[in-house]
Structure 1
Amino acid sequence: MKTFLRVPDEDALSALTLGAMRDAESGRYFVPPGLEIAQFKPWLPSPSQSLELEKPAQKGCSLSQMLTRVERALDTAFPRSEWVRFEISGLRPGTHAYFDAVERGADGREVSKARAIIWGSLRAKLDKKFFDATGARLENGLKVLMLAKVQFSVQHGLSLIVSDIDPDYTLGDMQAKLKRIREELEAAGIADRNRSLPAPVDFTHVAVIAPNAAAGLEDFQVEAQRLERAGLCRFRYFHAVFQGEKARDSLKQAFIDVHTYHTQQPIDALIVIRGGGATTDLQWLNEGILAKMVCRFHVPVFTGIGHERDSTILDECAHRRFGTPSKVIAHVRDLIAARANRALEDWTQICEGISLKLQAAEAAASRNRADILLRARHRLEKAEIAAVGEFGQVRTRATAHVGVTEERTAALHGMVLSRGAGRLDMAHQALGQQYGVIRERAAGAVSTVEVQAKARLETVVLASRRSIDGIDGHLHEHWLGIVAGAGKAVTQSVSLADAHMNDVTHYMRRTLREAEALAQDTFKSILAMGVEPTLRRGFALAKADGKPVSSRAAALEHDSIELTFHDGTVEVSTKGKAHHD
């Protein structure tokens, strides 16, 4: 008969060491024959327990019996610790590290899971080892390689007892993941798309994706608020989770929100910043979907993740990478300042150019004004001289014509009078001769022929008178014809003079209009020029008997002429010694 023992799990090894054996059917420990029962006293059952243990076995086996056999099988299959690859999930705080070791398929679903434990005596050591190598603490989502011993407990089931960790595997897994993402981007032909976008020439509206209330965001906002208060740039913030299992979906939604916002209110750039953290925290950003969204974004993306040496796939795809959020906002500030300085320099150059052109235009206008004024004065002087000359010529021609007409009229009148007087003399001579003949013939018969003589004399006298009257009428008619011809000539001369005067006036008016058109409104003063301004330019006005003298011949007709200057008059004698050219 077997002596069964009640051995707790924690004493199983001690009982086995003393020689206890396990019953294959019941899974209970018993004392083999030939061994001293006394040494197993701590596990000997009480009388009542002995009766219970000695009850006949029921059909089948108990759960503990089955699990005991599982435990023995696992001990045989995994006699020592082995390196196992898995992902940490469900890590809970405490002295001991309790978590789930998870394996996921390509679609991210769980393929297998087991409970894992790092006892408190090893946890600090393994945490330090991992942190020294990676700069991060053990946390959910990390893929690790750990040395673990399979342990099975009838009460608690299967557990992996971790005794060591290989940090290099975690880092290598990150690099392998980055390589796969890079290859996908290259295959899609979008790896350089955002980097190829033109760099912003200025910042007026910027979107920012950052963790809520992060330290790096606060540093960024200090400088950003200064730019906003100055009215130089607007910032629109979108918050997202940057680490942990929710980071991928949170950042994806943030990118979607920014894109929607950009379609409504266009932005100049998108800034993605994070306020520092462990190097392994960056792995949450190394997601293919996030990299593709950065590559395909319509405006340049700037990153300030918070690490100088380490980078993420987002840094590689972004238009430009900055080490920290402060450096990103410094770039924005410097570009705005540089743009403002260039604008100020351009404005200064424009003002200087305008000033130079204005000066050149003023100088050209001044030269044109002087030239126009000079030409206008010359034309006006020529017009005045031409007008005076034309008027003098017209007057001279008219005077000469009138003189000629008067001379011809006087000559004709003299000729008529001379011819009339001659005929009258001839008539008197004829009368005298007739009278002498009659007197001689009628000397003897005066009385008889006195009547005849008187009648004849009366006839002769009457005929002479009629002849004289005819001559006087003819002379009067001829005189009237001469006077009419002279009047007509005078009228024609006056009309010709008026026509010449009208031509001169029209020419002068046309000349003045041309001068006025050339000078425009600036030179209206030219139209106000008269004798006084002309005299002030060095000219003099010659007069005789109150009438202008326009020629040398006209001046010599007078004993003296009066010269009028702008400051007074001088009387000059024309009879003195003079050199006439």
Structure 2
Amino acid sequence: MDLFDFAFDDEKKEPSENRINPADVTIKGDSFKDERPLSVSELSGIVKAMVEGVGKVIVQGEISNLSKPASGHIYFKIKDNKSIVNAVIWKSAARGLKIMPEEGMEVILTGKLSVFSARSEYQINVSKLEPAGMGSLMQLFEKRKAQFEKEGLFSAEYKQPINRVPETIAIVTSQTGDVFYDIMHRIEQRFPCNVLLYPSKVQGETANLEVVRAIKDLNILAETKKIDTIIVARGGGSIEDLWTFNQEDVVRAVFASKVPVISAIGHEPDYTLVDYVADLRAPTPTGAAELATYELDNLKYTVNNYQRNITQTVLQYINNLEYR
């Protein structure tokens, strides 16, 4: 995008003859001393040229009024305790973000200023966005965790039991990584059953939407096809990498699931909000396979022991009757 491209959708709709090209605006030393008054459009053009001439800006602040319309663009305001500025992330730039903006998140963003002359408004066209340090994400994590705890989403009374003698286990994860195959292989070793993959992004733009859709679709499928457990899994990573599983819509989808959910996000030290709301948390994806199934050989051994004990008890009872 050229520095002076019109960044506001409304201005793009203006007839070309009404648009002001900042390149055509000249600011002379005596321009404000001339008796001839500037037109409003001329003044707007001067302001536009000056503001957009600033070049790259790097700004830290808190995200508010976040909006994600179907267009794929992301609109929000960046604020501190004194001021507030409009900002936009165009769809093309949003695809490259490592972490998606969220309401209340403290961020550092990089971009260029653009002016909508018709309303004398300016905004930041954001090309890069990152959390304002690990403390910023952890603060948001703790704030959200406290809210969910207050609502009772983590309460033990809502935890569903896991059927460890399953017919079908559904796995929500990326289809390109090793996680799915690690889980499937471990299930095959322990308790062979049907394994269903629902592929989903687990990081970046739209990942939260895909995970939510997967959980909802599997719940619908479970109304006609038996699904015993859903495993939501991904490999390890930084807090930014795992942030999808701290997003509110994902947490609420797991809570609302009528099919029991095992979370397997990252490795042992990694904890996300999905881990708290899930019916059971596994320390690793492979561990999820073990929590979702019994080991068949051990199960057979246990059943055989029960059978022997029952047989011995019945025989003992019969013998006691005979000696009365």
Identify the match of residue 216 of structure 1 among 179, 188, 202. Answer: 179
Q: Structure 1 residues 344 and 333 mapped into 2: Cα distance closer, same or farther (>3 Å)?
A: same
* 1:348 alignment counterpart: 308
Matches within 5 A, 1:467-486: none
Which of 69, 73, 76 is residue 103 of structure 1 equivalent to? 76
Secondary structure at the aligned position of 2:250 is classed as: helix
Question: CA-to-partner distance for each residue in 1:411-460, whole Å, 9 max, x for gaps?
Answer: xxxxxxxxxxxxxxxxxxxxxxxxxxxxxxxxxxxxxxxxxxxxxxxxxx
The separation in 2 between residues aligned to 1:256 and 1:101, in whole angstroms, is 25
1:317 Cα deviation from its structure 2 partner? 0.7
Alpha carbons 2:187, 2:290 under 8 Å: kept: no
Match of 2:144 in 1: 180
- Residue 147 of structure 1: how far off its partner (Å): 7.7
Bigger proportion of residues as helix: 1
- Unpaired segments ≥5 residues, structure 1: 1-20, 27-57, 90-99, 106-110, 117-136, 369-581
Partner of 1:267: 227
One-letter amino acid of the counterpart of residue 248, structure 2: G
In structure 2, the partner of 1:564 is: none
Counterparts in 2 of 1:104 and 1:341: CA distance versus 1, 3 Å: farther
SS of 1:219's equivalent? helix
Note the alpha carbon deviations across 1:15-35, whole angstroms, 9 max, x for none.
xxxxxx952329xxxxxxxxx
Whether the 8 Å contact between 2:165 and 2:294 is mirrored in structure 1 is: no
Matches within 5 A, 1:149-548: 168-169=132-133, 171-173=135-137, 175-177=139-141, 179-180=143-144, 182-184=146-148, 186-187=150-151, 189-192=152-155, 196-200=159-163, 202-227=165-190, 232-334=192-294, 336-354=296-314, 356=316, 360=319, 364=322
**Match of residue 377 from structure 1:** none
Write out per-residue CA displacement over residues 504-557 of structure 1, whole angstroms, 9 at most, x where no aligned residue. xxxxxxxxxxxxxxxxxxxxxxxxxxxxxxxxxxxxxxxxxxxxxxxxxxxxxx
1:193/1:296 contact within 8 Å kept: no
Distance (whole Å) between structure 2 residues aligned to residue 147 and residue 201 of structure 1 = 47
Partner secondary structure for residue 281 of structure 1 = coil
Q: Return the letter of the residue paired with 1:325.
A: P
CA shift for structure 1 position 322: 1.4
Structure with the larger strand share: 2
For residues 106 and 303 of structure 2, the distance between their equivalents in structure 1, rounded to whole angstroms, comes to 56
3-state DSSP of counterpart to 2:198: strand
Quick one: distance in 2 between partners of 1:339 and 1:281? Answer: 38
Partner AA of 1:85 in structure 2: G
Question: Which of structures 1 and 2 has the larger relative contact order (alpha carbons within 8 angstroms, sep 6+)?
Answer: 2
The equivalent position to 2:86 in structure 1, one of 84, 100, 112, is 112
Closer, same or farther in 2 for the Cα pair 1:264/1:180, shift >3 Å?
A: same
Does residue 141 (structure 1) correspond to residue 100 (structure 2)? The answer is yes
1:43-67 per-residue CA deviation (whole Å, 9 max, x = no partner) reads: xxxxxxxxxxxxxxx9957989864
- Give me the whole-angstrom Cα distance separating, in 2, the residues matched to 1:235 and 1:150: 49
Q: In the alignment, does 2:85 pair up with 1:85?
A: no
CA contact (8 A) 2:114 2:125 kept: no
Task: Deviation per CA, 1:45-103: give whole Å up to 9, x if none.
Answer: xxxxxxxxxxxxx995798986455555799xx9x97742267x9xxxxxxxxxx9952
How far 1:233 moved relative to its partner?
2.8
**Quick one: which amino acid aligns to residue 139 of structure 1?**
K
Name the SS for the 1:329 alignment partner. Answer: helix
C-alpha RMSD of the superposition: 4.7
- Give a deviation string over 1:460-518, Cα, whole Å, max 9, x none: xxxxxxxxxxxxxxxxxxxxxxxxxxxxxxxxxxxxxxxxxxxxxxxxxxxxxxxxxxx
SS of 1:279 mapped into structure 2: coil
Cα distance in 2 for partners of 1:204, 1:351 equals: 29
Instruction: Write the distance in 1 (CA, Å) between the matches of 2:228 and 2:52.
Output: 63
Q: Report the CA distance shift for 1:299/1:85 in structure 2 as closer, same or farther (over 3 A).
A: same
Structure 1 Cα separation of the partners of residues 224 and 139 of structure 2: 38
CA distance in 2: counterparts of 1:284 and 1:266, whole angstroms? 28
- For the Cα contact (< 8 Å) 1:144–1:170, is it kept in 2? no
Alignment of structure 1 residues 11-50 onto 2, 5 Å: 22-25=28-31
Q: Percent identity?
A: 18
Following the alignment from structure 1 to structure 2, what is the Cα–Cα distance between the partners of residues 303 and 289?
15
Q: What is the TM-score when the length of structure 1 is the normalising length?
A: 0.38
SS of residue in 2 equivalent to 1:141: coil
User: Which range moves more in the overlay, 189-198 or 255-264?
Assistant: 189-198
> CA 1:301/1:72 → structure 2, altered by over 3 Å: closer, same or farther?
closer
Alignment deviations for residues 128-149 of structure 1 (CA, whole Å, 9 cap, x no partner): xxxxxxxxx9625145633869
5+ residue gaps in structure 2? Answer: 1-26, 67-72, 79-84, 91-95, 116-121
CA contact 2:200–2:210 (8 Å) conserved in 1: yes
- For the pair shown, the structure with the greater C-alpha radius of gyration is 1
- SS of match in other structure, 2:223: helix
Tell me the CA shift for residue 335 of structure 1: 5.2
